[in-house]
Chain A
Amino acid sequence: MDPTQSQQLAYIAGQAADARVNVELETDEGMVLNLGPQHPATHGTLRIVAKLDGELVIKAEPIMGYMHRGYEKLTEVRTYPQVTALINRIDWLGNFANEVPFILAAERLMDVEAPPRAQHIRTILFELSRISNIALFLGDMAVQLGAVTPVFLAFRDREHVLNQIEAVTGGRFHPNFDRIGGIKDDLPAGWIEETHAVMVKMRKFCDEIEDLVLGNEIFQARTRGIGVIPADVGLEYGLSGANIRASGVDWDLRRDNPVGLAWDKVDWKVWTHPDGDSFARYWVRLQETREATKIVDQLLDTMPAGPIMAKVPRIIKVPAGEAYIATENPLGEMGYYLVSQGELTPFRVKIRSASFSNMSIAPWVLQGTYVPDVVTILASLYFILGDIDR
């Protein structure tokens, strides 16, 4: 990478970040294209300033912060239950999964353990969030590539999962259901049978998508060999989740980092793919969705009886200490580094969000690709703006 080119683009990006409008600046070599904050391809308000030579990307620089809400500052003045309501909205598609690492970190510091039934239900809701999140991805990546139909199928079938989440928690997108010491309410009657039926539907959906999208020759021509990320580069950049498993690294926090939830009580498989290209990332996520349906089925069958909330005081004061808990969220590894000084509110919460690290590889991987491939690669890395910007 030519340092002057890099400095030039950094200057442009800095200027562009300052400008309040989509100003496009000309340089001597190459055209600067601004895939601006309002664009159908970016999942939210992300801006990519790309220097092009015809249709070849010489250098690309993402600019973010259009959705920065200052979560880490806000958590310093919120009590622990209030923080739970807040952090639902970081990755707004994998709704329940955001709350879990924070609650677990607080529980570790308080030395409280949630009863087995609560852990079980947490795991089920976690996997349901994963299914609904990745189902959207499966349709969404297809529409980025031009196939307008699978996304409707994805939304249609995702509704069933969201209905199940709503039946338990009362909220489709922001459940706010996890509590320190357990969960808020027990399952409604008949929920287990309904969820079994929904899992059957989701497996059918996965098969349909595999046929419709993965088997399509044009999809394969557009995604095979595009955006190859070798495993060691991925690890160096902190890539996590399906992105790193698609590069062949056999690492899944559900299996390798037990935090007390019920994944070690069921029989499931970690999917990897050796290629590391966009096709591999799509393929791994499809297999993971199917695997998640199987996990949910097994968990539903082995649900223990018992209380759903451990004994915790009404006013929660977490004792002084620090802890980092990370879980395998739908987008990747999400973790909370919780610093507590024994007050009602946390002292510092560092939110390690998956998409932040997943996106940081974008300048590296977008070099030398074509403009259509930029869309493919970004779609396959699958980031959520709320996760990047917090």
Chain B
Amino acid sequence: MSSADTETEGVTTDAAREAAVAEFAEALGDVCLETHVFPGVDCWIRVATDGWLQAAQVARHELNYRYIDFVSVIDWMPSPYGRDMDTEQDRDPNAVADVEAMQHGVTGGDTRMQAIGRVHSLITNIGVNIKCDIPDDTLTLDSWISVFGGVNWHEREAYEMFGVAFTGHPGLRHLYLPGDFEGNPMRKDFPLLARRVKPWPGIVDVEPMPDTGDDGGGES
């Protein structure tokens, strides 16, 4: 079993995950800025931007997190196109949403884009999410490819979807989209093109069932 929850006075603690993040914090020292544990579910650490590659090396070579789950980017900017399924912007492209404050996730952060990589240990069966701020002006980060060969495609996808460049990657080019595609689709300020092409009709009421009362009716 991977996580042993213990309840003490209504507060659950997760010993295994606490130990995992403590190990990381100890091995990384100053580079590790924040940690967070969601008992029974998951755990996070956030590292400084120049400690991104070091975190991977520590994870793989020292702490035996040999399995790479994924590497991706989260764009924390609130969408100017609204978040609901049924927003003004879908009907009227010129409408402007109320600008909301940018909220970051569980381990905080300062920049708009945050990288997240997840590594997994087969010995303790714990996976740790490693987050890192990506500087807004340069939008570059070190590549993990010297540590985990498998992040090749993950980083290419992050590059094309968010515009984040990874230094040290052997061939950073588009993965899914054609070579001349302009823009980075997963950014929040890139509109969902399907809604621009055909306006969303809004929540359509479900049609009521045909009336079986008067016309022919076998079943009631």
The answer on a CB contact under 8 Å between B175 and A322 is no
The answer on a CB contact under 8 Å between A73 and B150 is no
**Alpha-carbon distance between A77 and B122 when the two chains are bound, in angstroms:** 35
**Stretch with Cβ within 8 A of A (4 or more), from B22-30, B78-86, B132-140:** B78-86
Known: A74-B192, A258-B2, A352-B70. A236 touches B149 (CB 8 A): yes
* Smallest Cβ-Cβ distance to B171: which chain A residue: A10
Which chain B residues in 114-139 approach chain A with CB under 8 Å? 116, 118, 122, 125, 127, 129
The answer on a CB contact under 8 Å between A341 and B103 is yes
The answer on a CB contact under 8 Å between A324 and B127 is yes
* Smallest Cβ-Cβ distance to B100: which chain A residue: A341
Contacts of A333 in B (CB 8 A): 69
The answer on a CB contact under 8 Å between A10 and B173 is yes
Q: Is A247 interfacial (CB-CB < 8 Å)?
A: no
Which chain B residues in 57-109 approach chain A with CB under 8 Å? 66-70, 72, 74-75, 79, 83-85, 103, 105-106
Contacts of B112 in A (CB 8 A): none
Q: Is A59 interfacial (CB-CB < 8 Å)?
A: no
* Smallest Cβ-Cβ distance to B2: which chain A residue: A257
Contacts of B154 in A (CB 8 A): 356, 360
The answer on a CB contact under 8 Å between A232 and B66 is yes
Count of residues in A whose CB is under 8 Å from the partner chain: 59
Q: Is A219 interfacial (CB-CB < 8 Å)?
A: no
Known: A335-B69, A348-B74. A322 touches B105 (CB 8 A): yes
Q: Is B11 interfacial (CB-CB < 8 Å)?
A: no
Q: Is B179 interfacial (CB-CB < 8 Å)?
A: yes
* Smallest Cβ-Cβ distance to A82: which chain B residue: B85
The answer on a CB contact under 8 Å between A68 and B1 is no
**Residue from the set B42, B79, B185 with the largest chain A CB neighbour count within 10 Å:** B42
Q: Is B186 interfacial (CB-CB < 8 Å)?
A: yes
Q: Is B205 interfacial (CB-CB < 8 Å)?
A: no
The answer on a CB contact under 8 Å between B180 and A18 is yes
* Smallest Cβ-Cβ distance to B66: which chain A residue: A235
Which chain A residues in 10-26 approach chain B with CB under 8 Å? 10, 14-15, 17-18
- Looking at the assembled complex, report how far the CB atom of B98 sits from the nearest CB atom of chain A, in whole angstroms: 14
**Alpha-carbon distance between A360 and B152 when the two chains are bound, in angstroms:** 8
Contacts of B10 in A (CB 8 A): none
**Alpha-carbon distance between A208 and B151 when the two chains are bound, in angstroms:** 40
**Alpha-carbon distance between A78 and B84 when the two chains are bound, in angstroms:** 8
Q: Is A364 interfacial (CB-CB < 8 Å)?
A: yes
Contact with B along A335-358 (1 / 0, CB 8 A): 101010101110110101000110
Which chain B residues in 7-53 approach chain A with CB under 8 Å? 38, 40-42, 44
Contact with A along B182-198 (1 / 0, CB 8 A): 00011000001011000
Contacts of A76 in B (CB 8 A): 79, 83, 192
Known: A70-B185, A323-B42. A339 touches B176 (CB 8 A): no
The answer on a CB contact under 8 Å between B118 and A6 is no
- Looking at the assembled complex, report how far the CB atom of A349 sits from the nearest CB atom of chain B, in whole angstroms: 10
Which chain A residues in 208-243 approach chain B with CB under 8 Å? 232-233, 235-239
Contacts of B186 in A (CB 8 A): 72-73
- Looking at the assembled complex, report how far the CB atom of A172 sits from the nearest CB atom of chain B, in whole angstroms: 24
Q: Ordered nearest first, which 4 A-B pairs have the shortest CB separation?
A: A65-B176, A237-B150, A68-B176, A18-B179
